[in-house]
Structure formats: structure tokens, C-alpha cells
Amino acid sequence: MVVALVAIYQYCTQLEVVKTLTDEQKLEKLAAYQNTWLMAAAGPQAIATTTGKKDGPTPDKPRRNDKRSDWMLNGVPVLRVAIDDTPLVRMKTGRISWADIYLNPVPLWITDMNKFFVIVGSAATEAEGRQRMQALKVSHPQYDFELYAPYGTNTSYGIMIASWVSKQRAAEALQVAKQIDRTSFIWECRGAGDSC
């Protein structure tokens, strides 16, 4: 990530001094360059979610001796974004929702810190999956869910309560998921690097 950001910064700096391009052309070139560097890894893709802007009910704060991963630092909401074994930390203003912590986009690079999913249900078709996901949201409004298309040899649509998380976060989400559906389980991406 650091290498990508430095490369993008340097390219942007070079574009800034070019006099033969319009601002719109420079922005187009910068966007294309960014997409090259910041392309997500190949892996399962969410096709629907119960949250639009990932803003909703906040999960309970970790208690003092709780084993859950921290997401508060001196009272300030913190999200840890794992790139490798050394997680980056970004601050978020406002409330942190379930989706902010447990439902993540496809990472740039797949590692042990972001390769786990918690499946709380499945469906044979996309329409059935969307219907089941919405029913889960109605019966459990404090949580968010995502519908994933079939991946690899699996032919079912998966309803996730956690996606692209660490093993620790997956274990946290599984405790909740088991209360919703006792057959919930953790699925691990088999690969690492740029492909699941």
C-alpha cells in the first residue's frame, strides 16, 4: 500500500507540471494510474448489502477484559485496516457500525489478517439470497449482512455477517452468527497475495 501511494503521489506530482494536458485529461490519467496500482485482489465479491453507506447501529464497546479486537482508542473510534502483519490504523469520525468493522471490501492483498468470512446463511438463487438477507436484517436490525455470488466450486449464494476480516474478528462475528443461525460457520480464503 505504501509503495502504491508513493507511486501515485509521484505520478500526480509529475502530471501537475505538464502544460499540454487539460485538468480533465490529467484527472483521467491519474484515475487510470490509480486503478492500476489499487486494483483489488481476485476473490469472492459482494453483490448486495443491507447497508448503503456503512453507517448504522454501533456494536457494543469491548469490555475491559473482553477478548474481542479493539476498535476504540482512548475513546476515539479506530478501524484497523490490515495490509500485512502490521495493521494500518485509520480514524473514523461519527459512529462506527457493524459493517464498518465486520464487512470489508475486497482487499488489495490477501493475508491472514483479512481472509476470513462468516457465513450465516445461503441460497440457491440470487433472488432467494436477497430475500433471505433482507429477512435477516428485519429480524436482526442491529447487524448488517452481505450477499456473495457463488465462488470457486461452490454453487450457492452466501449470506455473510463478516467478510474479509482477521481470524479474531471472524471468531467474534461467529459468536453473534450462531445466535442467529446455529449452522453459521467461518470460511477461509485458501489463497493469499493477489488471489483467493
Is residue 194 a part of any domain in this protein?
no
- 96 with 63, same domain? yes
Residue 77: what pLDDT?
Answer: 46
- Provide the domain limits for residue 10: 2-37
The dihedral built from the CA positions of residue 193, 86, 186 and 138, taken in this order, carries a sign that is negative
- Rounded to the nearest 10°, the torsion over CA 163, 167, 173, 177 is 90
Those residues with Cβ within 8 angstroms of residue 183's Cβ, 6 or more apart along the chain or in another chain: none
- What CATH number has the domain bearing residue 128? 3.30.70.1070
* Total number of domains in the chain: 2
Residue 67: what pLDDT?
Answer: 41
Distance CA 59, CA 81 (A): 18
Helix, strand, coil tally for the chain in percent (to 5): 35, 25, 45
Is residue 193 a part of any domain in this protein?
no
The answer to whether residues 89 and 79 touch, using CB atoms and an 8 Å cutoff, is yes
Residue 37: what pLDDT?
Answer: 67
Residue 79: what pLDDT?
Answer: 46
- 32 with 67, same domain? no
Residue 41: what pLDDT?
Answer: 73
The total of other beta-carbon atoms located within 10 Å of residue 78's CB is 14
Tell me the average confidence (pLDDT) per consecutive run of 10 residues in the chain, 196 residues long: 77 88 87 72 87 49 44 45 40 71 87 94 96 96 95 92 96 96 95 81
**Pure H helices in the chain:** 2-17, 23-37, 98-102, 126-139, 167-180
Is residue 26 a part of any domain in this protein?
yes
Residue 27: what pLDDT?
Answer: 86
The secondary structure of residue 58, as a DSSP letter, is P
- 13 with 84, same domain? no
Is residue 180 a part of any domain in this protein?
yes
- 155 with 175, same domain? yes
DSSP SS3 for 47: strand
